[in-house]
Amino acid sequence: MKDVLKIAEKVAVDAILSAGRVARQIFNEDDVLVEEKGPFGDVVTEVDYLAEKVILNKIKEHFPKHQIRSEETGWSGVEGEWLWVVDPLDGTNNFAIGLPIFAVAITLLYKKQPVLGVIYDSMIDKIYMAEINKGAICEDEFIHIKSSSSIEKMTVGWIQGHVVQKNPEAMRLKQFLDLKFKRTLSLWAPSILWAMLARGDIDGIILYNSEGDDLYGGQLLAKEAGAIVMDFEGNPFEGMSSEPYIIACHPDHKNKFLEIVKEGLDEKVG
């Protein structure tokens, strides 16, 4: 596995930089092709396709036998021990309305466990990378999550899946988080939130049924930066899940975050 990861790291960084440059260049142009996607008001842009093509070509060139799951083209290749998960433009809706909050996310999984995660914040030109059991880095420096003094002073990220929409339980929980924490931040670019948690700029993430292609690299980055990543029952989040419900925070705050989420889910309107 070590030999594969050594090559995979170089391939992922090369691919993610190339894809990010495409996004940054087109973002500054006047006319960007945008199309509706799915029943929930989501969109896809020409950048999604162009960036995806760049990434997939580079992966297939070096790892032709690896399976790939990508945001726009779906699954390709033969199922095996290795799987690449690609989000060529995480934050497409932001990109489409001219909001410069978007990223590229690439993850390599071995036997359904993430072993390499790379996130590129395209507009500020920063790469975040985590390899299993080797820590999390940004710009060749190790990054770490932080432990805040009080819940009331914390900022937490909120991530929800496309299918969630205005689900009453999800909306109650999000509203409850707004009451408990200083701020609940919803960026619609989950990989950016994972990077913010890993570098200590936010204090936690609550994820409600969102199995995006940014998830696995993001949670690996957070873990390698020192976060605990668990489900709503407090069990460690491992492997892949089609309907994940996740809390990520500093280990010092595990019990408090679990308590707040449970209370928020039990909160009744009326």
Same-domain pairing of 124 and 32: yes
Number of domains in the chain: 2
Same-domain pairing of 17 and 95: yes
Contact between residue 120 and residue 15 where contact means Cβ atoms under 8 Å apart = no
Same-domain pairing of 91 and 180: no
Which of 203, 94, 206, 217 shows the shortest CA–CA distance to 158? 206
* 251 — pLDDT class (breaks 50, 70, 90): very high
* 28 — pLDDT class (breaks 50, 70, 90): confident
Same-domain pairing of 138 and 162: no
Please state, in angstroms and rounded to a whole number, the distance separating the CA atoms of residues 42 and 49. Answer: 15
Domain limits for position 181: 151-266
Same-domain pairing of 123 and 189: no
pLDDT of 41-67, one tens digit each? Answer: 677 899 999 999 999 999 999 999 999
Concatenated DSSP letters of 41-82: TEEEEHHHHHHHHHHHHHHHHH-TTSEEEETTTEEES--SSE
Of 108, 142, 176, the residue that ends a domain is: 142
Same-domain pairing of 100 and 183: no
Of 123, 142, 161, the residue that ends a domain is: 142
Same-domain pairing of 92 and 124: yes
* 39 — pLDDT class (breaks 50, 70, 90): low
SS (H, E, C) 169-229: HHHHHHHHHHHHCCEEECCCCHHHHHHHHHCCCCCEEEEECCCCCCHHHHHHHHHHCCCEE
- What pLDDT is stored for residue 29 in this prediction? 80
pLDDT of 169-189, one tens digit each? Answer: 999 999 999 999 999 999 999
* 40 — pLDDT class (breaks 50, 70, 90): low
- What pLDDT is stored for residue 41 in this prediction? 61
Q: List binding-site positions.
A: 71, 87, 89-90, 214
Structure-token pair, residue 62: 């070096």
What is the rounded radius of gyration, in angstroms, for the C-alpha atoms of the chain? Answer: 18
- What pLDDT is stored for residue 270 in this prediction? 40
Q: Which residues contact 241 (CB under 8 A, 6 or more apart)?
A: 211
Of 101, 122, 142, the residue that ends a domain is: 142
Which of 93, 128, 108 shows the shortest CA–CA distance to 20? 128
Same-domain pairing of 176 and 105: no
With a pLDDT cut of 70, the percent of the chain lying above it is: 97
Same-domain pairing of 170 and 262: yes
Of 18-32, 78-92, 103-117, the poorest mean pLDDT is in 18-32
Q: What is the CATH number of the domain that holds 231?
A: 3.40.190.80
What mean pLDDT is predicted for residues 210-238? 97
pLDDT at 269 over 50: no
| CB half-sphere exposure, 174, CA atoms < 13 A | 18
* 38 — pLDDT class (breaks 50, 70, 90): low
The model carries a pTM of 0.94
Same-domain pairing of 211 and 86: no
pLDDT of 61-107, one tens digit each? Answer: 999 999 999 988 999 999 999 999 999 999 999 999 999 999 999 99
Which of 7, 20, 259, 5 shows the shortest CA–CA distance to 124? 20
Q: What is the CATH number of the domain that holds 111?
A: 3.30.540.10
What mean pLDDT is predicted for residues 199-217? 96
With a pLDDT cut of 90, the percent of the chain lying above it is: 86
What's the whole-number average pLDDT of the chain?
A: 94
Q: List binding-site positions for Mg(2+).
A: 71, 87, 89-90, 214
Same-domain pairing of 134 and 105: yes
Same-domain pairing of 168 and 186: yes
